[in-house]
Amino acid sequence: MPNNRWLARVYNVINALGNNNIGVLIRGESNGVNYPIKVDPEAGGTGSLAVNIQDQYTRLIFLPLHLHTGNIITLTAPASVGDWTIDVAAGHGLTGGEPVATGKANNWYYGYVVSVAGNTLTLDRVINFAMAAGTTFEEFTEDMAINGSVTRQEFHGYSVPDLDFDITGMHISIVCPGQPDDSLFGDIAALTRGISLRQYKGDTGEYENMGTARTNGMMALFTGGDVVYTDKAGGGAWGVRVRASWTNTWGVTVRLRGSTSGSYTPNGRDEIHMIIQDNLTALDSMHILLVGHVVQ
């Protein structure tokens, strides 16, 4: 199978009693996911092998699909690891609640503005790597309850330079004032064009269409059937929760390369897009989160 391989390493370990333990460490690699297996030659005299499958460990990915607003925010003072606030240049236009992000090779920051005091922004999560004055953040919007019927709106998800992401699934959350069912999208009439999910290849400039949905029922089809309707509680709202687990349903991940030799996107990166091409403003909100892990 493409992108699958086995790697082996012979080891010789002297334990605390001075005995030699000789064996082979075999690592299966499939689409960037490593599955280490240790074969123990002392498992028994009948040719049987003791196999220990080790846990996979790597950095988790929680990647909201977002729309670029074009608003760039610049640090006027360095930010240190563990800081909750940042100082930015005047004219940032932020009032609170906005998602902001920055990135560098092998790392990224994505957080939300909690409050604004002049040009000091309080964030909902700490700064996770040192940033110099002059570092730029970009403001995004994540809410897809917008009008895409006149001009299509593209929400994006991607990695940073020199890091590849394996996306294992997608979560969709819709909040709506009325009761949803399979014939509706949220609680509004079936869409004319539908929301369209695709992958964009940064090295070739080609798209891979992954699915289009005009109703909640159609979302169930291309996500593997995991659609749940949440009841209105008290003075609250109705909801639709959708989960697509690509590894469990299809047995694969979606690879997002942070850098390629291509020039169709910044650094030739791959991207996942959700295209909004109908008027979704009657919904209270709609958000999509990609989940996965960094490729080791």
Are 150 and 16 within one domain? no
288 and 210 inside one domain = yes
pLDDT of residue 34: 53
Residues 170 and 289 grouped into a single domain:
yes
72: left (phi over 0), alpha (psi -120 to 50) or beta: beta
The C-alpha atoms of residue 107 and residue 112 are separated, in whole angstroms, by: 17
Whether residue 220 is found in the same domain as residue 121: no
Which pLDDT belongs to residue 200?
Answer: 95
In this structure, the answer to whether residues 219 and 82 fall within a common structural domain is no
27 with 72, same domain? no
Q: Which domain holds residue 98?
A: 68-139
Looking at 120, 139, 158, the residue that finishes a domain is: 139
Same domain, 153 and 123: no
Please give the pLDDT value at position 49.
52
Whether residue 171 is found in the same domain as residue 208: yes
Q: What is the pLDDT along the chain (296 residues), one digit of tens a residue?
A: 445 554 544 444 444 445 555 554 555 555 555 555 554 545 445 555 555 445 567 889 999 999 999 999 999 999 999 999 999 999 999 999 999 999 988 899 999 999 999 999 999 999 999 999 999 999 999 999 999 999 999 999 999 888 899 999 999 999 999 999 999 999 999 999 999 999 999 999 999 999 999 999 999 988 887 899 998 876 788 999 999 998 888 888 999 999 999 999 988 999 999 999 999 999 999 999 999 999 98
* Same structural domain, 11 and 131: no
Same domain as 124, residue 189 = no
Residue-level pLDDT at 56: 66
Q: Based on the domain organization, do 41 and 114 belong to the same domain?
A: no
